[in-house]
Amino acid sequence: MTIRALWIISQEKGENVSIRFSRRFSTVEHRAKSLAGSSYVAVPEESTVLQLLLTELGLSDPDKAYVALRDDCLYRPRSPALELRVDSPEKGILWPMLVISQGPLILACLPLVDVPPEPRPPLASLLSVSQGLTLLAGLQTFLLGSGSKPDGEGLVSRLAMLPSVLLQVCPLGTPLDVPLLGPPATPTVPTSTGNQKQPAWKTGLHRGRAVVNVALTETVRSMQYGNRSRQDLWDVFGTVLCKCEVEGVLPNVMVTLSLPPNGSPLQDILVHPCVTSLDSSILTASSVDNCDSSAFSGPYKFPFSPPLEPFRLCSYTSQVPVPPILGSYQLREEENQLHVSVSLKLHESVKNSFEYCEARLPFFNRDQMGVVDVKVSYGQLDISKEKNLLVWVLGQKFPKSHEVTMEGKISFSGPTHGPSDPLCTGLTAYIKLYFKVPDMTLSGCSVDQHSVQVYSSAKPRIVTCKFSVHLKRKCLLHLFHV
């Protein structure tokens, strides 16, 4: 696996977004040109790469309410493997551009794909994608340390060290601290791999009792329109994060994911390159194809030799029969007043215990919010007149009926205009729900202490957790008014 180029971008608040570090590997670029032939697309100048990346990430032109390449409904971002459309001087598409973002930094790299670009191969078949993300995650840990925002001097000093670090861990564009190409061994019982090479970005070794942490997270995205002509949409995206802390030799580990008897098979499974063997039937289920009831439904076993840094063991999608919260949102306008009616119902299959749950009602393209006469049957209502926003805080539980309502009137007056959006005009509006349910997954997928095996003479402490979350940007539950 080799990379054509690497970029480190700073996005500190109050400062201009800029490229803090970049490195291109001419020998790899020569190979890319030879492999691609007439379809070769050169890596453009730094300023062009920066602008294209910011557009794909939705960070360009923050002062503009609508940018076609960023906000058009036909645009579907495919993070973390983006495609950059180069217009000049050589038109074409750079793919896959791998990007991870945390705190003040955006890290991006363009791996060399040694297969024909058309038809485009699935990401799951490209080992360079998993290895490129592993490299970016390691560099991110090196630059930011254990936290997400180090002091300015620490970041500057680490950026200054980066050229010499890359000479050691990625000479001539070839990362050394990721698994090598080739078919992995598939032993019946995993055995110890011996001492692992200490990555250049790992500053120290773990001391004390061995600990294996496994966290299963499912993020829900749902859109409910309340209109028979528009189909409601919802999906679940799951990730399994692992962190192994041991003193000395890293043991082999096996994590098993289980589904309930009536659970839908996991789909679109992607695994970390440290996984040593895998049943091929696990990778065949795809959300693009019609779901086959005979598809592999578990248990899903992932034997792996863990790297020294925290990593994403696997990710998947799942089809669930209903959204976790059903809702209705109605607006009626009379003169300069809006009549608002909202009802929410927690589905009976969802655990009625939240770390947080709130609904946000923004009102776009209107004058400043005036008199608010709105009543809620449960929870409390926070009003932000400056932002033309109502925040309905439902807290940690729904009532016993599992249903809550909001009714009232809102008037708008004054010269100050609230938030603007060219799509949300008149009665075009929506509600965003944010919530987190601990110790539960919508798909029923689970992992516990008994499903984690560590092949070591020492007995490590195993920590597992799972939760459903509905918080990240562009992964929200929307209720459109009817």
The domain 211-322+442-475 is classified under which CATH number: 3.30.460.20, 2.60.40.1170, 1.10.10.10, 3.30.1370.60? 2.60.40.1170
* Cα dihedral 390/393/399/403 (nearest 10): 30
Say which amino acid occupies 230. R
Q: What is the C-alpha separation between 374 and 376, in angstroms, rounded? A: 7
- Closest C-alpha to 338, from 358, 359, 365, 363: 363
Please state whether beta strands 18-24 and 3-10 pair in parallel, antiparallel, or not at all (unpaired): antiparallel
Planar angle of CA 360, 362, 364, nearest 5 degrees: 170
Enter the tokens of residue 159.
């950026």
Q: Tens of pLDDT along 304-348?
A: 988 877 889 999 998 888 888 888 888 888 877 889 999 999 998
The pLDDT of residue 75 is above 70: no
Q: Tens of pLDDT along 433-469?
A: 888 888 888 888 988 888 898 887 777 788 877 766 6
Say which amino acid occupies 286. S
Confidence of residue 119 (pLDDT cuts 50, 70, 90): confident
Segment among 90-99, 219-228, 405-414 with least mean pLDDT = 219-228
The pLDDT of residue 383 is above 70: yes
Say which amino acid occupies 111. P
Q: What percent of the chain has pLDDT over 70?
A: 78
> pTM of the predicted model, to two decimals?
0.56
Residues 11-20 have a mean pLDDT of 78
What is the Cα gyration radius of the chain?
A: 25
Any idea which fold 325-439 has? Immunoglobulin-like (2.60.40)
Which pLDDT score is estimated for 371?
Answer: 86
User: DSSP 3-state assignment of 125?
Assistant: helix
Q: What percent of the chain has pLDDT over 90?
A: 22
Cα torsion angle, 276, 277, 282, 288, sign: positive
Please state whether beta strands 461-470 and 211-224 pair in parallel, antiparallel, or not at all (unpaired): parallel
Segment among 14-23, 213-222, 233-242, 284-293 with least mean pLDDT = 284-293
The pLDDT of residue 187 is above 50: no
Residues 218-236 have a mean pLDDT of 80
> 320-343: buried (b, 16+ CB within 10 Å) or exposed (e) per residue?
beebbbbbbbebeeeeeebebebb
Which pLDDT score is estimated for 417?
Answer: 62
Q: Tens of pLDDT along 128-157?
A: 888 888 889 888 888 887 554 566 778 888
- Closest C-alpha to 78, from 60, 49, 102, 98: 98
Helix axes 127-144, 152-169, angle to 10 degrees: 140
Per the model's pLDDT, the better-predicted residue between 328 and 182 turns out to be 328
Which pLDDT score is estimated for 73?
Answer: 64
Which pLDDT score is estimated for 408?
Answer: 93
Per the model's pLDDT, the better-predicted residue between 473 and 411 turns out to be 411
